Structure 1
Amino acid sequence: MADIRSLFATRLYHGALADHAPAVDPDELAASCYSVAEDDEAGQDWCEANGYPGYTSYASLTDLPWRFPIFADLVKCLDAHVAAFARDLQFDLADKPLTLEDIWINILPEGGVHGSHIHPHSVISGTTYVQMPERTSALKLEDPRLPFMMAAPTRLKDAREELKTFHSVPTRPGDVLLWESWLRHEVPMNMAEDDRVSVSFNYAWG
């Protein structure tokens, strides 16, 4: 009998904010996201200049935890989730913990997309979901080996999860997704009439 094993695993962490303290009120977090977006003229200008649909604070604000206490609480909660994921990944961090590098708001309106990308210079990236209306798009992850597959045939439609070339991850408000920052991902078009709201972040080492 042949021995067939899975090697070089790509891990995905899917949890709930409520799994770790402090408690973060989702309605207050949503209101804070919209409040920041309304006041952030630099962010609005950047989105317009770069053709970014909706709003992101990625290029304009670096101090969300200082501006709103709820973001400071959110970071404390995320720290615990990231630490748990790092243990699962069996990272040897020595005396250099993973620390928050940046955190930003995403408000994606109907018809908005966020193209395929990675997060270089970080170790763990992720998103926590604030507002996910019905029919909105799920995060789509890409097999990191895809550029090397060349002449390989496509996978069966009902292929096992770990063998699929792309994987979409349905989420609800209050969910947290974490992945290693080299994993390519995208947000397909938001087909819902309402905004898709999330807060994304990067953690670095050292």
Structure 2
Amino acid sequence: MSNIKSLFVTRLYHALLSEHGPAIDAAEMEASCYAIAEDDEAGQDWCEENGFPGYTSYASLTDLPWRFPIFADLVKSLDKHVMAFAEDAGFDLDGRKLVLEDLWINILPEGGTHSGHIHPHSVVSGTTYVAMPEGASAIKFEDPRHAMMMAAPPRVKDVREEMKPFIYIAPAVGDVLLWESWLRHEVPMNMSEDERVSVSFNYRWE
């Protein structure tokens, strides 16, 4: 009898942020994101200069947990989620820890996209979702083996999820997604008239 198994699995962690750490008030988090975006002139300038749709604090602010206590509470929750993901991934951390490297706000308007990318120099990356209006774009993950599929035919439409070349995840407010930082991902066009708000982050091995 033939034996076919799956090898070299790519893990994607999807949970409620509230499963670990203090409860995070979604309305307060959303208000905090907008307050920071309004005051962050350096971030606004960077977005305009680089043709970045909407707003991100990625290139301008490194101290969100210091500015607003709600972000400090968020980090406490994220630390525990990342620990759970690391355990599932079987990481041998050799007595060291995965620690927060950076944390930033994303506000994506109607028609905005975030093109495909990875997060170099980090181990675990992720996003938690603050505002996801109806029609807001999912996050799209790409099979990391694409560069090696020179002559492979396309997959049938109803192929099993783990064999699809792209996976779309439509998270809800209060969800957290984690993945290894080498996994290429993007945010397709936001089709909602309202803004899509999220907080993304990287963890490094220290």
TM-score range, shorter chain: over 0.9
How many angstroms apart in 2 are the aligned matches of 1:117 and 1:157?
25
1:195-206 paired onto structure 2 within 5 Å: 195-206=195-206
Matched, 1:115 2:115: yes
Match of 1:136 in 2: 136
Letter in 2 for 1:25: D
Unaligned runs of 5+ in 2: none
Match of 1:189 in 2: 189
Q: Per-residue deviation at 1:21?
A: 1.7
Deviations 1:77-98 (A, max 9, x none): 0000000000000100011100
How many angstroms apart in 2 are the aligned matches of 1:150 and 1:137?
30
Match of 1:51 in 2: 51
Deviations 1:36-73 (A, max 9, x none): 00000000000000000000000000000000000000
Unaligned runs of 5+ in 1: none
Stretches of 4+ moved more than 4 A in 1?
A: none
Deviations 1:96-152 (A, max 9, x none): 100000000000000000000000000000000000000110000000001110110
Number of aligned residues: 206
Match of 1:165 in 2: 165
How many angstroms apart in 1 are the aligned matches of 2:49 and 2:116?
20
Deviations 1:2-60 (A, max 9, x none): 11010000000000111012111010000000000000000000000000000000000
How many angstroms apart in 2 are the aligned matches of 1:30 and 1:175?
14
How many angstroms apart in 1 are the aligned matches of 2:132 and 2:150?
36
How many angstroms apart in 2 are the aligned matches of 1:200 and 1:93?
23
Deviations 1:144-200 (A, max 9, x none): 001110110001110100000000001100000000000000000000000000000
Match of 2:23 in 1: 23
Letter in 2 for 1:123: V
